[in-house]
Structure 1
Amino acid sequence: MLKAQYQTRGPVPQDVIEAVDLQLPAPTAGQVRIKVLAAPINPSDVLTLTGQYGMLPPLPAIGGNEGVGKVEELGPDVTALKVGQTVLLPVGCGTWVTHLNTDASKLIALPDADPQQLAMLTVNPPTASLLLSQFVDLQPGEWVIQNAANSGVGSYLMQLAKLRGFKTINVVRRESAIAATQQDGGDVVLVDGPDLAKRVREATGSATIRLAIDAVGGAATDHLAACLGEGGTVVNYGMMSGEPCQVSPSAIVFRDVTLKGFWLAKWFRAASQAEQGKVFGELVQLIASGKLKTRIAATYDVSQIKEAVAAAAGGEREGKILIVPK
């Protein structure tokens, strides 16, 4: 058994984490032993390793915030689960491991489906879903624009928008990302640049756009703001550029464009169980049925955690990096 552990944080994320032996006791009353099937590496995980994320666990820590596993052993008094069942792992439990013990009450049973796709359920799909629903009351036929469209969230957002009847303008930062983004169902795919607003007007017939989704920051935020109509909203959820969001005074003063932020962790804290159940109930069914999925660039064993984190932190890849224990 192995775990991917880090004792410090630093600017090169793969340098601070390593695979070490894991010793687990037998599950106690109310616990189960889980064999991890798959766990993704998200941008937030990389920022946690560098110390730049908004919420940092105490050290030493095990990497990974989401994933799925299979019940391998039941502790005393566990009746709600059975051996062999696929379950969603608790958020933030340290999922870059081969095995873990956890309270049975914290696990959510999942349908039998592709575990690698189910492993990405907790972070990116709800982020995409809520970005589309929490800020602007979009109606079928309306346009929404996003950057980082070739990211995990971007892929889910395109698919969910299509399912809900919205049209998407999808902005990427390099020509090589266009083809894969088009394959994900983007209605319009453009490379970012200072003249983005002009090209968006040409592509949409000067349609009024009320919602822009920004994961990049810096000048890219202003490029999106310039595409919006009167009273439009830019929602930022990431800082891929490493730069503060920029929005010109002309957008804010003359067109009443607003800039808001979204952090899924804060939504989890505020949302009721019923609200969370509604969001995840829809997403589980869509993923299990194959209607919602995202590309996987590569999979790595826990023993290859340094290579996996380096791949996730690097640029110009198409799809997600997953830890898939052998």
Structure 2
Amino acid sequence: MLKALYAGRGPVPQDVIDAVPFDRPSLMQGQALVAVLAAPINPSDVLTLTGEYGILPPLPAVGGNEGVGRVVELGPDTHGPGVGQVVLLPAGIGTWATHVVAPAAQLIALPNNADPQQLSMLTVNPPTAALLLRDFVSLHSGDWVIQNSANSGVGSYLVQLAALRGVKTVNVVRRESAVAGVKALGGDVVLVDGEDLAERVKDATGAAVIGLGVDAVGGSATMRLAACLSEGATIANYGALSGEACMVSPRELIFRDIALKGFWLARWYRITPPAEVQALLGELAGLIAQGKLHTPIQATYDVAQIKQAITAAAAGERSGKVLIVPKQEA
């Protein structure tokens, strides 16, 4: 058994983490031993290794905040998903490992016949995309939304979820090589960011009313997004890939009544009743199982290859997610 452990943080994320062996644990009542099937490496995971994320776990820690596994053993007198059941792992449990010990009551059963690699990304990006579309502006079929970082994990889910609702998307990317991938997912309009973005959006949409902008970049990209929106629209910011604070001019805020709001999924999980959380995750898991919701995967790595995996995930130009997929015992 292996786990990806880090005891410090530093500017080069792959340098602070190593795959270390551990013995099969003895289970207590209420616990389950779960073999990890797949676990993604998200941008927040990389920022956690460098010490730049908003919340940092105590050290030492096992990397990985989400993933799926298969129950292999239950503790004595323990009730929960049965042995052999595919389950969603609790958030923040340290999923970059061959096996994890989890509270059985916190495991959520998932469809056994669905792709575990796609299911492994259920906890973070799909609900983020769904809530960005649901909780900021009342959207109806035929409405338009604009987002930047459209080739990201959240961006790819947002395109698909919007299409399922009949909502049209303008998708802004930062490089020409990302355009084709977003179009293949169903993006209605895909444009490379630039100073004349507002004019190109106007031309591509026929000057459509756009009431929601979704921003993951910050800095001047937020300003360019604001310029594309209609009067009284809202920008929902959920990230700062540029490393800069969001910029919105007084003209947009005052004279065009553009609102800038933030979204953090961790807070939503903290304040939302468990039944509502499970309902949303269940709905999204169903769409994944039906093949209606997916995201591109660039590469998979075993736990033993954690340094190579982090290097790939932290690279500036990728064509999909990087996953930890532990080798299964024969």
Match in the other structure for 2:54: 54
Conserved 8 A contact 1:24-1:100: no
TM-score calculated relative to the size of structure 2:
0.97
Could you tell me whether the CA contact under 8 Å between 1:18 and 1:306 is conserved in 2?
A: yes
The runs of at least 4 consecutive aligned structure 1 residues that moved more than 2 Å come to: 78-81
Would you say 1:14 and 2:14 are equivalent positions?
yes
Alignment partner, residue 44 of structure 1 = 44
Aligned mates of 2:290, 2:27 — CA distance in 1: 33
2:291 matches 1:324: no
Q: Tell me if 1:154 matches 2:194.
A: no
Q: CA deviation at 1:201?
A: 0.3
Matching of residue 91 in structure 1 with residue 91 in structure 2: yes
Shift of 1:153: 0.4
2:314 corresponds to 1:285: no
- Separation of aligned partners in 1, 2:274 and 2:73: 28
Equivalent positions of 1:1-326 (< 5 A) are: 1-112=1-112, 113-326=114-327
16-25 or 295-304, larger mean C-alpha shift: 16-25
Instruction: Give the Å deviation of 1:24.
Output: 3.5
Q: Provide, for residues 207-234 of structure 1, a one-character-per-residue CA deviation record: whole Å limited to 9, x for no partner.
A: 1111000001111111100001111111
Q: Tell me, what secondary structure is at the counterpart of 1:245? A: coil
- Does the aligned pair in 1 maintain the 2:130–2:161 contact within 8 Å? yes
Which whole-Å CA distance do the structure 1 matches of 2:100 and 2:91 have between them?
13
Cα offset, 1:272, TM superposition: 1.1
Partner SS state of residue 217, structure 1: coil
Q: Deviations over 1:97-127 (max 9, x none)?
A: 0011122111011112100000000000000
CA distance in 2, matches of 1:121, 1:210: 27
Residues 79 and 105 in structure 2, CA contact (< 8 A), matched pair in contact too: no
**1:47 & 1:117 partners in 2: Cα distance?**
23
Between the aligned partners of 1:110 and 1:48, the Cα distance in structure 2 is: 28
Higher mean alpha-carbon deviation, 170-179 vs 6-15, is at 6-15
- Alpha-carbon distance, 1:242 to partner: 0.9
Deviations 1:262-317 (A, max 9, x none): 00000011111232122112101101111100000000000111110111111111
1:23 deviation in Å? 2.4
Distance 1:80 1:104 in 2: 5
TM-score, structure 1 length as denominator? 0.98
Contact 1:144 1:168 in 2 (8 A): yes
Cα distance between partner residues in 2 of 1:31 and 1:243 = 43
Q: How many residues align?
A: 326
Contact 2:211 2:233 in 1 (8 A): yes
For the 8 Å contact 1:24–1:101, the answer to whether it is kept is: no
Residue by residue over 1:221-254, the C-alpha shift from the partner in whole angstroms, topping out at 9 and shown as x without a partner, is: 1110000111111111111111111111111111
CA distance in 2, matches of 1:281, 1:95: 20
CA contact (8 A) 2:80 2:107 kept: no
Structure-2 separation of matches of 1:29 and 1:224: 52
Q: Which amino acid aligns with 2:244?
A: E
Could you tell me whether the CA contact under 8 Å between 1:35 and 1:70 is conserved in 2? yes
Alignment check: 8 A CA contact 1:2 1:20 kept: yes
TM-superposition CA deviations, 1:182-211 (whole Å, max 9, x none): 001100000001110000000111111110
Q: Distance in 2 between matches of 1:214 and 1:170?
A: 11
Structure 1 residues without counterparts, runs of 5 or longer = none
Q: Give the 3-state SS of the residue equivalent to 2:245 in structure 1.
A: strand
Instruction: Report deviation, 1:25.
Output: 2.0
Look up the equivalent residue of 2:314 and give its one-letter code.
Answer: A
Name the SS of the counterpart of 1:198 in structure 2: helix
Does the aligned pair in 1 maintain the 2:127–2:280 contact within 8 Å? yes
Q: Do the aligned residues in 2 keep the contact of 1:149 with 1:171 (CA within 8 Å)?
A: yes
What displacement does 1:85 show?
0.9
Work out whether residues 44 and 53 of structure 1, in 8 Å CA contact, stay in contact via their aligned partners in 2: yes
C-alpha displacement of 1:81? 2.4
Identity %: 67
Equivalent pair of 2:40/2:322 in contact (CA under 8 Å)? yes
Provide, for residues 9-33 of structure 1, a one-character-per-residue CA deviation record: whole Å limited to 9, x for no partner: 1111111111111224221212111
1:19-52 deviation per Cα after TM superposition (whole angstroms, max 9, x unaligned): 1112242212121111100000001101111111
8 A Cα contact 2:296 2:321, kept in partner: yes
